[in-house]
A = this chain, B = another copy of it.
Amino acid sequence: MGDSNRRSALNRRSFLVGGAALTGGAAVAGGAAGWGVGGRTATARTPDRDAIANSRAVGAATEPFHGDRQSGITTAPQAHAAYVAFDLRDGLRRTDLIGVLRAWTQDAARLTQGRGGLADLQHELAEGPSRLTVTIGFGPELLGKIGLGDRTPEWLQPLPDFPQIDRLEDRWSGGDLLLQVCADDPLTVAHSARILSSGVRDAVLQRWAQRGFRRAVGTDPSGQTQRNLFGQIDGTANPSPADADYDQLLYSDGADRRWMRGGTSLVLRRIRMTMDTWEEIERSSRELTIGRKLDSGAPLTGTTEHDPADFEAIDQTGLTVIPTESHIARARPRVRAETILRRPYNYDDIPDPGQISNSGLLFASYQADPVRQFVPIQQRLAEQDMLNTWTVPIGSAVFAIPPGCHEGGYVGESALEG
């Protein structure tokens, strides 16, 4: 075993028996090699940055609004997102809620296609929709508040408590209604969220708003697998549309509630990442924590990102190569049903006084049934996950995402009509 292998084994032993290997003053950045090394430089056939800047190619792209399913779920994640939650004002009825949903549907249908909202006097800000999607969700108490509690799916409830890890704050949790607004342009997200939120304030009270980002278009051809602010590739093990059970994992077949057929659920968790202490551990400890290599995102037993992880492989010290307490070892599905579609965003907000950062992850996952699919994973992670040392869930919400609608209809009508 060479020197570097021996060192890494030693680091590993010491990390697992009680302490992360701390970064020393003499730490040398692996980054000396720099960008573009490793055969990933742009080829001559890719567009040139100035040609992109002089174009509307990113801004002009659109995603459909109408359809059997809402957009923004399997849509390739856009660079920017706003999640905005609302509570229905006291005393409102079914017809008032229908008014809100019709207004959102009409404006979303326009905004996503680059047209100003109906009462939007600033239509220039809607030009260049940048693949805008607007996705509408129903919180656990919404239907009960308008006398339709029996239409609430069984699984539509707040997540169980995870007292080992949760430090939830009301200001990031819950809500009767959700707007998920995503686009490749931050001004489009800001304007669209504003227009949609301000038009309905007589009926709903804004409860919270959260904003997130991924890498800009044209920075990362690996596309959908983003890096979070810990530098981890995040979202590798998503189901693929090529999987035979993809639709079944993602969308309701109507067996929960008939109106949900074609709908799904969103779990949104705001996870604070403690950059200060994460930066104190070195790369080998970071890789053991997650179970993947930092550079490629490959499992510690593989060489490329999508290599299957071998959780049985043993290293020269007799331990599994991927620690059993690592994030991926704990998170991996024990049964196929524990499969979710993650669509996370980073956040980096104004720090609190005395702090350098206010950073983390807006963990967002879609699944047909969060109780069956998501909760068992979260339960295991709450019980044990090396990553928990550096992450704190501070917000949590669950929404039903109704099926999509067609021209003339509105999102949510299958729940509210009849």
Contact = CB atoms under 8 A, between A and B. Distances in A.
Contacts of A33: 123
A61 interface: yes
Contacts of A34: 113-115, 123, 127
B60 A52 contact: no
Contact of A194 (B117, B130, B357): B357
User: Which size bracket describes the interface of A in this complex?
Assistant: 35 or more
A54 interface: yes
Contacts of A131: 49
Interface string A53-68: 1111111110000000
A29 B211 contact: no
Nearest to A29: B116
A32 interface: yes
A42 interface: yes
Contacts of A80: 186
A388 interface: no
A16 interface: no
Nearest to A358: B209
A279 B206 contact: no
Interface string A37-56: 00011100011110111111
A223 interface: yes
Contacts of A357: 194, 197-198
Interface in A22-40: 23, 27, 29-36, 40
A120 interface: yes
Contact of A121 (B211, B286, B356): B286
A404 B124 CA distance: 38
Contacts of A79: 186, 216
A352 B256 CA distance: 37
A42 B348 CA distance: 33
A221 B130 contact: no
Given A32-B115, A35-B115, A53 B215 contact: no
A355 interface: yes
B46 A279 contact: no
A48 B57 contact: yes
Contact of A29 (B55, B118, B129): B118
Given A46-B57, A216-B79, A359 B194 contact: yes
Contacts of A348: 186, 190, 211
Given A31-B115, A121-B282, A275-B194, A54 B223 contact: yes
Contacts of A213: 186-187, 190
Contacts of A49: 57-58, 60-61, 131, 217
A122 interface: yes
A81 to B, nearest CB: 11
Q: Which 10 A-B pairs have the closest CB atoms?
A: A31-B116, A31-B123, A35-B114, A58-B218, A59-B219, A47-B47, A122-B231, A46-B55, A190-B348, A186-B213
Interface of A: 23, 27, 29-36, 40-42, 46-49, 51-61, 76, 79-80, 110, 113-131, 171, 184-188, 190-191, 194, 197-198, 201, 205-206, 209-211, 213-221, 223, 227, 229-231, 275-276, 279, 282-283, 286, 294-295, 346, 348-351, 353-357, 359
30 contacts: A23-B119, A29-B115, A29-B118, A29-B119, A31-B115, A31-B126, A35-B115, A35-B126, A35-B127, A36-B127, A41-B56, A42-B56, A46-B55, A47-B55, A49-B217, A52-B52, A53-B218, A79-B186, A124-B227, A124-B231, A130-B219, A184-B216, A185-B216, A187-B214, A187-B216, A190-B348, A194-B357, A198-B276, A198-B357, A217-B217
